Each structure stands twice: as structure tokens, then as C-alpha cells.
Amino acid sequence: MSLLSCGKLIYEEGDDCDESVMHVSLRVSACAGGSAASRALTEDEVPGTGYENFIDVNKLHILFFDKDGIFLQSFEPEKVLPTDNSEYPDTWELSGTIQNPPKTGFKIVALANWPSDPKGLKVGETTIENVCKADWAMGDYTAPFTPSKNSPIPMYGVKTHKNKISFNSDVETYLGEIYLLRAFAKITVCLSDDSSASLSSVTLSNYNKRFACAPLEMYDYTTNSSLSEATVHLAGGSSYNDPARSTLGFAPSADKKSWTIYVPEYLNADPSGTACSDRSHIELKVKDSGVTYQIDFRDYDGQPETHFFNIVRNFEYHYTVTLTPIMFRVTVDNWVFGGKVLIEM
């Protein structure tokens, strides 16, 4: 489906550089085989979910680093093909030739849908951490954001080969699959089937104006399980939010039973779980009524007003609301690796 220009790896290992051309292939995927490492939904749910997996192969960059995370070279594949015939392929296979591949272990980094191409990469100097923290690795968040072909979600992935790989110039060597993490979180509010009242609007009280395309401290393998314990990566390396100071409306489904937004990471709490002064929350306005309800990002299973949690990339925060003229109840599905914690308030 797509044909990119043929390229070679330019890394030279001393004066005895092996000039043999090797054929290699690898895969990049926005879904990890249906495991908890991905929170993508199926095509027939709400608008936008198909494009939360979309990978723009014309904005896909593959970078090779040594076992210590030092930049070696870029890879420009000869062929980029989807692994299925779906409308929004979430897995692509790349193949091409490389020259003098590393012999004692290496890392492969995939950058997908980033707002800028890689800049200033220096062989033997630039690290993966430098890439993740670079100015060109930051982006401006356009609200309201809906994933589309023209505005896909930025993604990042890394895979490490610790052991030596035997390359053969006559055989294509498969380098494995790189799983991608989305730079945004997904927040969904749904009305339960037994709700008799309707919502006129759902809004987020605040959100960050800029975002970092890649997570911090994930330089060996991309896995959703590590994000819950990782430091939220805010644009520019800041340790505090740069909020828009305005509300963000959720996009409703056609029947207004489901409301969804995609947003950058946001700090709602300090490391102890204590709420930040500029924390964000969700507001629900009931149709034909002046009633407004508030939902915080916190653990309602503990003591009141304790254990607030951040909005973290590649997570889905799902709230099911039961709404009647005499009752308001919310079930919070707080996404965690390997399952969901159900909380009622």
C-alpha cells in the first residue's frame, strides 16, 4: 500500500565496518494482541475509536540505538504493508535493507504520528531519553481533539534485543514487533440502560495546552503496565501543569448515551495522592434541569477526598452513570494493567 524510499543504516563500527547488505523486517502495532497493554475499542462503538489506532506510515520513523540507548542510525524501509485489510490497520510490517547491523544487542524505537520529524540526531551521542525530551517531541494540543486521518494520536514504541542476532545476507531477518503507546488518554462517560434522565453536556474542567509525544523512563520496552507508576511526562519537562484555563466539551454519540474526549496527560495529585490545587474534574449537566454533578479523578473506594490520580497516557477512564430524577450513581472503571477496579460513589 505504501512504498517509501530505500535507505541504509549508516553506522560504522570502527575501521572494520562490515559493508554487507542485510535484509530485515519488523512490525509496529498500536494493539498488543488484545492484551491490557492496549485500550482500543472496536469499530462499531463510538466515532473516533477506529482512528485511535491509526498509524500514518508517511510520518513513521524507525531509529536504531545500541544496547546502552545511544543512537546508531535511522532505517528507511523499502516496503510498508498492513497486516490485514481493515479500514484502519493498526499493525504494519516494514522491510528493507540495512548495512552493518549491530552485533551485540540493540534497541529499535518507533515514532508514529509525531507533529515534527526527528531533528539533530547525532550518531554515538543522542540517547533515547534525549529523543523523548527534545523540543521537537512536544506538541500543541488542539481542542476539541478527535482522532482522524489528518490528526492522528502521536505514538511511541521501543523494543530491545539483548542477545546477539545472526544476520544472513541471503535471508530476511525478522526483528520482532514494536508495541506503540498513545500520547493521549481517553475519557468516556456513558449513561446506563436504566437511566431515565438525559445529559445536556459533559465537560472537563481543565486540560494541558501542550503534550509530550513519548513517556519518560521507558527506554527498553513499551508496556502499559509501567505507566501507572511512571512520572507523568508534561511538555517541556515541566513538573507542573500548563492548563488552558477553560473547559473542554466531550463529543457525544448520536444518541447522546456516550460522551468521549482524548486529552494529554495531566497532574491531578502529588506522589502521595494529595490533590493539586489546579486538578481537573468532570461536570455533567442534566437535560431540562439546572442540576450539575461533579466527578473527580480519585479513588472513591477509600476515604472521602483522598487518593486522587493523574490522567495518564494510553489509559481509558470510563464512567458509567445511572441517572434518574431521584438518583445519581456513577460506576468508575479505573483502567489498571490486567483489569478494572469498580468504584461506586
Full pLDDT tens readout for the chain, 345 residues? 333 333 334 333 333 334 578 899 999 998 654 333 333 333 344 445 678 888 999 999 999 999 999 999 999 999 999 888 877 778 899 999 888 887 778 999 999 999 999 999 999 999 999 999 999 999 999 998 989 889 999 999 999 999 888 887 788 999 999 999 999 988 888 888 888 788 899 999 999 999 999 999 999 998 766 566 667 999 988 889 999 989 999 999 888 888 999 999 999 988 777 888 899 999 999 888 888 888 888 766 555 566 788 888 888 888 888 887 766 666 655 444 323 333 222
**Is cis: bond before 147, omega within 30 of 0?**
no
The class (CATH top level) of 185-216+240-344 is mainly beta
Question: Can you give the residue ranges of every domain in the chain?
Answer: 21-182, 185-216+240-344
Distance CA 255, CA 249 (A): 16
**Cβ atoms < 10 Å from Cβ of 172:** 14
The domain defined by 21-182 folds into Immunoglobulin-like (2.60.40)
Distance CA 73, CA 88 (A): 29
**Same CATH topology for 21-182 and 185-216+240-344?**
yes
Q: For position 339, what pLDDT does the model report?
A: 32
3-state secondary structure of 309: coil
